[in-house]
Amino acid sequence: MKLLPELKEELGILLNNRNLRVALERVISRYVKTREASLSILGDFGDIRKRLVDIKDSAIDEAYSIWDSIANRLEERGTFFTELADAKVAREKILDVLKENGVHLLIKSKSITSEEIGLNLALEASGIKVVETDLGERILQLMGDKPSHLIVPAIHRTKEEIAELFSKYYNEDIPPDPFVITKKVREEFRSYFLSAKAGFTGINVVSADPTYFYLMTNEGNGRLCATLPDVYITLAGWEKIVRNLSDAIFILKVLPKSAVGIDFSSYVSIFAAPFRWKDGRKWYVFVLDNGRKKAREDRYLRHALRCIRCGACMMVCPVYRVLSGHGFSKIYMGGIGVIWTAITQGLEEAAQLAELCASCGRCNTVCPAAIPISDIIEEIRFRVGSTNLLEKYAPIVVADRRKFSSLGEVRRIVRLEEEGSFLEWAFKRGLLDKSSDTAIYGGCVVEEFLPKVGIQSVILLEKLGFNVAVSGGLCCGLPLRVYGKKGEYLRCAYLLKDKLKRYKEVITICDSCYSTIVDAGFENVKPIYEFLLDSNLVFYAREPYRVALHIPCHTFSAGREGKLIEFMESVLNIELIRSEYERVCCGGAGLYRYKYPSVSRAIFDVRKDFLVEVKPDFIITTCPSCLMKLKDDIKELHLDIEVVHLVDFILNYTNLPL
């Protein structure tokens, strides 16, 4: 495993690559606006996920019998069918087929599975010329680069860089116009399509009944690779199966919408047997295991076998957004790439990527196959254990209230702050663990580092006529869970759940704590904005403020985004500025800002131009950790924007209802 300083050096190079940042922002901003609208054509996203989970899980349950039936059917039709145990065997078998058929030129259509086995390098080392016919893959091949996205492999390259590449390659001036570039490349490809003896493609889906192989492309190159040469080779992952035609068509409907926000891909090719436009054409089907069968028996890794390779999780990943699939990948990229690295290369290799994950959970919310990506990454961290001292010991210190309180006391001394902790204030007021139907739970950061937020919450609710207690002194366990300390987390969760059950209702002022408490099975809990919303109270801002939201990542994972927005829209006399950036991670992510400060700052900087242009009066958030991070970053930018907790804004900048 790489040492952390070496990894940081690599990340620094990527973070300073302006072309990379510009290219990613162009694509991701456009994608965010189109994906939800495109998916809505198929109906409710929850229903889409339920059906996709059923389709994939049932097929994986029957995988062995399904593949046996597919193999028999294909061989009856004259197709050569082979299962491949691992990457080494895969390279050898495919090379053998090409040599047997006298192939010197192989034309390929995009296949991340071939990247997984390192096919191109192996073939070229044996004297076989490989030409990638997908435009994105061709760009990367000529640049000596690697894919950084499952569907849009050259997402990290600007059109200006691509124009410069082809200007040198063709020795003529090529403008940064996608239409002109595509036309020029198409002219070159025609000769390859007509002269190659073998073609190679990946595959999107395989159905058992009928036995069909489905290939989806936007350029038509896959169909040409499959039908023009004398030899056609298909490489499919063992997990690509579904039971029937209806299941396959459903995936093909979801895939382009979730991947790039378009309703349909240009070409869908369906293969049932060798396409014999002339005698002697051959079709070889290779099915790759490479850890997939073992993952099927693993209750965590098994979920990843549902992946349809849409890459939606990458587009919302804050780390991917600034590092691309170069900084956050081995072969497979982003959070799902961590898991597929564990499946195909082992846990130790995956551990390097797992450290880069910010544990925001946004990937979970957009995966059409409902893969709990961040949960599985936490499990990988648990199994491997961290070599990072910060990850090893900081969560334990946070969960140990005596040690954490000491840190809070040191902070107050250093900053010359007079007020003590939130719990000390509550104790002096007789509120700590007092008998009441309703209690406020502040969480670690509020209790020791931002006591003002806890105090303001109590004052606000008391002014509104509510009798509240303060429950504290126990961590929700989130830092422990995120960094793979499962036993300590479960202990924290049990103790807190046992303590809170004495109250009929618990109000949280930290959405990260809320999401963790809910995950632990405690039901009688609400974020403070939902409590206020349910109380039918109307707040009127004292001035016509312009307000932007920062919606914490755990607000999404807990499904409370809608409630937070609904509450803010109910506040009168404010202009609520909505944008895609309200959903983007601030880069804090608990300890992440200390572990990878440059990445953390880059994640924040994604919204810098927006804030400079819009200049809201306030940024309002509901996570104390986010509050601290945003305050620091806004201060460094010298922007005249107040960053406040929602409670602070309601108490001090609105007129409370009588």
Q: Concatenated DSSP letters for 341-375? A: HHHHH-HHHHHHHHHH-----HHHHH-TT---HHH
Confidence of residue 219 (pLDDT cuts 50, 70, 90): confident
| pLDDT score, position 633 | 93
| Euclidean distance between CA atoms 497 and 242, whole angstroms | 41
Provide the β-strand partners of residue 242. 207
Coil/strand/helix, residue 13: helix
Paired tokens of 374? 């961040």
**522 and 550 belong to one structural domain:** no
For all residues of the chain together, what is the average pLDDT? 89
* 11 or 377: which leads in pLDDT: 377
Mean pLDDT of 258-262: 85
Taking residue 571's Cβ as centre, other Cβ atoms within 10 Å add up to: 21
Phi, psi of 449, rounded to the nearest 5 degrees: -110, -30
Residue 56 lies in a domain: no
**360 and 404 belong to one structural domain:** no
Strands 231-237, 198-201: parallel, antiparallel or unpaired by DSSP?
A: parallel
Q: Provide the number of structural domains found in the chain.
A: 4
**173 and 266 belong to one structural domain:** yes
**522 and 432 belong to one structural domain:** yes
pLDDT tens-digit series, residues 526-553: 999 999 999 999 999 999 999 999 999 9
| pLDDT score, position 409 | 52
| pLDDT score, position 118 | 94
Between the two ends of the chain, the Cα-to-Cα distance in Å is 61
Q: How far is CA 115 from CA 108, 112, 153, 156, 487, in A?
A: 12, 5, 11, 17, 37
**84 and 212 belong to one structural domain:** yes
List the single range of 155-169, 388-402, 450-464 with lowest mean pLDDT.
388-402
Cis-peptide into 210, omega within 30 deg: yes
Question: Residue 154 corresponds to which amino acid?
Answer: A
Mean pLDDT of 373-389: 82
Among 374-388, 457-471, 548-562, the range of highest mean pLDDT: 457-471
**525 and 549 belong to one structural domain:** no
The answer on pLDDT for 415 being more than 50 is: no
Residue 48 lies in a domain: no
List the single range of 243-257, 261-275, 363-377, 503-517 with lowest mean pLDDT.
261-275
3-state secondary structure 151-215: CCCCCCCCHHHHHHHHHHHHCCCCCCCHHHHHHHHHHHHHHHHHHCCEEEECCCEEEEECCEEEE
Residue 127 lies in a domain: yes
Strands 282-288, 105-108: parallel, antiparallel or unpaired by DSSP?
A: unpaired
**538 and 515 belong to one structural domain:** no
List the single range of 31-35, 65-69, 96-100 with lowest mean pLDDT.
31-35
Q: How far is CA 390 from CA 205, 347, 394, 444, 594, in A?
A: 43, 20, 5, 17, 8
Of 354, 385, 416, the residue at which a domain comes to its end is 385
Residue 27 lies in a domain: no
Confidence of residue 400 (pLDDT cuts 50, 70, 90): low
* CA torsion through residues 95, 97, 100, 105, sign: negative
- In CATH, what number is assigned to the domain containing residue 245? 3.40.50.10420
**397 and 494 belong to one structural domain:** yes
**500 and 637 belong to one structural domain:** no
Paired tokens of 105? 């030129």
Residue 18 lies in a domain: no
* 15 or 297: which leads in pLDDT: 297
pLDDT tens-digit series, residues 291-329: 999 999 999 999 999 999 999 998 889 998 888 887 888
Full residue range of the structural domain in which residue 547 is found:
534-655
C-alpha angle 397-401-407 in degrees, rounded to nearest 5 = 60
List the single range of 37-46, 281-290, 423-432 with lowest mean pLDDT.
37-46
Residue 43 lies in a domain: no
Residue 295 lies in a domain: no
- In terms of Cβ atoms closer than 10 Å to its own Cβ (0-12, 13-18, 19+), residue 636 is exposed
- In CATH, what number is assigned to the domain containing residue 555? 3.40.50
**91 and 228 belong to one structural domain:** yes
The answer on pLDDT for 147 being more than 90 is: no
The answer on pLDDT for 83 being more than 90 is: yes
Paired tokens of 421? 């902790």
Kindly state the helix (H) or strand (E) to which residue 384 belongs, with its residue range.
helix 373-384
Of 503, 533, 563, the residue at which a domain comes to its end is 533
Place of tokens 């699939």: 325
**540 and 529 belong to one structural domain:** no
**575 and 624 belong to one structural domain:** yes
| Euclidean distance between CA atoms 607 and 627, whole angstroms | 15
Of 533, 568, 585, the residue at which a domain comes to its end is 533
Residue 220 lies in a domain: yes
| Euclidean distance between CA atoms 428 and 408, whole angstroms | 18
